[in-house]
Structure 1
Amino acid sequence: MSEPQSNVRIALTRPPEGDLEARDIRESLSAVVQTGPHLWLGCDETATLERVTDHGAGRYAEHRTYRLADVLDLPGDDDAEVDVEGLAWAPPYLWMVGSHGRKRGKPDPDEGVEKAFAALADVDEDENRYLLARIPLEEDAEGGGLVPRRSCADPRDPSSTLTSARLRGKGQRSALMRAVREDEHLRRYLKLPGKDNGFDVEGLAAAGGRLFLGLRGPVVRGWAVVLEVEPVPTDRPERLKLKKIGPEGRRYRKHFLDLDGLGVREITADGDDLLVLAGPTMGVRAPATLFRWPGAVKLEADSITARDTLEKLLDLPHDVDGGADHPEGICCLEDFGGRTREVLVVYDSGGPRRQDGDAVVADVFRVRRGRGPGLMETLFPPRHGGDGERNGGGEGG
């Protein structure tokens, strides 16, 4: 197991609207991304985004909670969990993805056979989990820092308006699910719950106008799956469609990776490479490993990548405290010159050593630098601006 270079303390003190308390947020972190001085965090039990600000000396504080329904048209009920599993920053938009998977009830043997069996037979399909969306971030003139908006002026062109938008369709009828429902490798897994090796998105990276969706499942004969898509505008500003980028007019590209039999638990861009956090598909104790996928963002076709092409970077802490400590979110930490190469890791179901009063303790690891420009050089020239992601035209999805 690799030892972290350092730790950071992330104070999460403000409960979101609804039934959950701040403690529940601290125990269900599933995604993280950096935008300048801020960290944005997603949880798999809420319909919110969390923002904290760098206070130096490894401390993040000033916790702010934003209800997604206030800035985005959700496919389901406003307060139903979104199960945010990935976040990516492509200025001026913050992208997010839900799991797109079904969930099976969790049995409690102490409640007896009948109730445990009923829980195992209960499979739910929540519409908000089928979310792939973008939200513009704008500098707050009064409070300072970047904040999410339903719409705002484009800082690069004040005559243009930036709008939040999601991929069209709901549930199994979402544009992504319709695109893959006849896929020869994936179609058999669409009705299975995520933790049964069913279809389950758990990672998101943005690069060059495209999104990379890392699948926790299925793992197909030991091969993990990453889907590449390019969302583009429709005639409705609050909706997106998928451009045809694959062979024979397919609305996605498909990439198989040999991650030693593990699935993708998170994915993030690092220059021309992707960093892939690999972990078990189902509820078993197994390693959590960080790989570098060289040149992934430059691919222009479907691909299959053997193990010897991937660079193993780290063995991350996993199941350390009696089954707790599940690495779920990663992001690159860099200064504005793009010179520092560090990876921040946040944990779901953190054990005692992850708890520090009203804060969670995350790990920082130093990794070898990849080829190509740094993340912040690419996305953050001199300040919060940058050319960002330009969604071109294309045929619908």
Structure 2
Amino acid sequence: MSDATSTVRISLNAPPEGDVEERDIRESLSAVVQTGPHLWLGCDETATLERVTRLEDGRYGDHRTYRIEDVLDLPGGGSGEVDVEGLAWAPPYLWLVGSHGRKRGKAKPEEGVEKAFAELADVDQDDNRYLLGRIPLEEDPQGGGLVPRRACADPRDPSATLTAARLKGKGRQSALMLAIADDEHLRRYLKIPGKDNGFDVEGLAASNGRLFLGLRGPVVRGWAVVLEVQPAKTSRPERLKLKRIGPDGRRYRKHLLDLDGLGVREITADGDDLLVLAGPTMAVRAPATLFRWRGAAKLEADSITGRDQLEHLLDLPHDVDGGEDHPEGICCLETEGSRTREVLVVYDSGGPRRQDGDAVVADVFPIAPGRGGSPMEALFPARDGGDGGGNEERDERNGGRGEE
């Protein structure tokens, strides 16, 4: 297991009014991304985004919670669980993705055979989990820092408007699910719950105008799956569709990776490379390993990448405190004046050493540098790269169906 060079204390003590508890936030962290002085965190048990700010002593505090439904209409409506599994920063948009998977009930043997069996037979589908969307972040002139908006002026062109938007369609009729419904490798797994090696998105990266969705499952004959998509505008500002980027007009590209039989638990961009956190697909004890996938953001076709083509970076702590400590969120950490390339790792179900009063303790690890520019070189890059896609001729066939 690799040793962290330092830790970071992240105070999470300001949940919104309602049914969200501080503990729910601290114990279900599933994604993290940096935007300048801020860290944004997602949870797999809430429908909120958390923002913390770097303080003078190096800690992160000034916790702000934002309800996703306040800035983006959810596929299932209301404030039902989104199961945020990935965040990505493609200025001026913060992208987020839900698991897109079904969930099976949890059995508790102490409650007896009948109830345990009933729980294991209960498979739910929450429409809000089928979310892939973007939210513009705007500098708040009063409170300071970036805040999410449903709509705001484009800082690159004040005459233009930035709008929060999500992929069109609802639940299993979302544009993504329709696009992969007949996929030769994935279609058999779409009805299987995520933690049973069914379809389950657990990572999101943005690079070069593209989005990369890392799948925890399925792992197909030992091969992990990453889907590449490029959202594009529709006639409705608050909806997106998928551009045709794959072979035969397919609305996605597919990449298979040999991660030693593990699935993708997180994915993030580092220049032209992608960092892939590999972990177990099902509820088993297995390692958590960070790989560098060189040049992935510049691929122009489907791909299959053997283990010898992936660079092993780190072996992360996993199940070190009685089954706790699951590394779930990673991002490249940019610190002013630092010349060392580092990644920040946050943990779901953190053990005692991950808890510090109202804060969680994240790890910082050094990594070998990659290729290409840093994602933080500019706050707002060229205008064409902001929406993950671009204008496309209106085409509603196949995976373009389902506009609401």
TM over 0.5: yes
Report if the CA contact (8 A) 1:88-1:205 is conserved. yes
What TM-score, normalized by structure 1, do the two folds share?
A: 0.97
The residue aligned with 1:16 is 16
The residue aligned with 2:386 is 389
Deviation at 1:339, TM superposition (A): 4.3
Partners in 2 of 1:189 and 1:121 — Cα distance? 17
Instruction: In structure 1, list runs of 5 or more residues that go unmatched.
Output: none
The residue aligned with 1:230 is 230
- Look up the equivalent residue of 2:381 and give its one-letter code: G
The residue aligned with 2:244 is 244
SS state at 1:245 partner = coil
Report if the CA contact (8 A) 1:42-1:50 is conserved. yes
Partners in 2 of 1:337 and 1:174 — Cα distance? 44
Q: How does 1:31-42 map to 2 (within 5 A)?
A: 31-42=31-42
Partners in 2 of 1:270 and 1:173 — Cα distance? 32
- Look up the equivalent residue of 1:319 and give its one-letter code: D
Q: How does 1:184-199 map to 2 (within 5 A)?
A: 184-199=184-199
Partners in 2 of 1:375 and 1:136 — Cα distance? 17
Deviation at 1:386, TM superposition (A): 2.6
Deviations 1:70-113 (A, max 9, x none): 10011113210000000000000000000000000001111100
Deviations 1:29-84 (A, max 9, x none): 00000000000000001111000000033300000000111100111132100000
Report if the CA contact (8 A) 1:76-1:127 is conserved. yes
Deviation at 1:136, TM superposition (A): 0.1
Partners in 1 of 2:248 and 2:83 — Cα distance? 32
Structure 1 residue ranges (4+ consecutive) displaced by more than 6 angstroms after TM superposition: none
Partners in 1 of 2:359 and 2:242 — Cα distance? 39
Instruction: In structure 2, list runs of 5 or more residues that go unmatched.
Output: none
* Shift in alpha-carbon separation, 1:392–1:77, aligned structure 2, 3 A: closer
Residue 67 of structure 2 is aligned to residue 43 of structure 1:
no
State how many pairs are aligned: 392
SS state at 1:375 partner = coil
Partners in 2 of 1:360 and 1:123 — Cα distance? 31
Report if the CA contact (8 A) 2:5-2:366 is conserved. yes
SS state at 1:114 partner = helix
Partners in 2 of 1:393 and 1:337 — Cα distance? 38
The residue aligned with 1:165 is 165
Deviation at 1:338, TM superposition (A): 8.4
- Look up the equivalent residue of 1:221 and give its one-letter code: R
Q: How does 1:1-397 map to 2 (within 5 A)?
A: 1-335=1-335, 339-377=339-377, 381=378, 384-387=379-382, 388-390=385-387, 391-394=389-392, 395-396=395-396, 397=400
Deviation at 1:336, TM superposition (A): 5.8
Deviation at 1:337, TM superposition (A): 7.7
Q: Percent identity?
A: 80
Deviations 1:194-240 (A, max 9, x none): 00000000000001111000000000000000000000000000000
SS state at 2:376 partner = helix
Report if the CA contact (8 A) 2:101-2:193 is conserved. yes
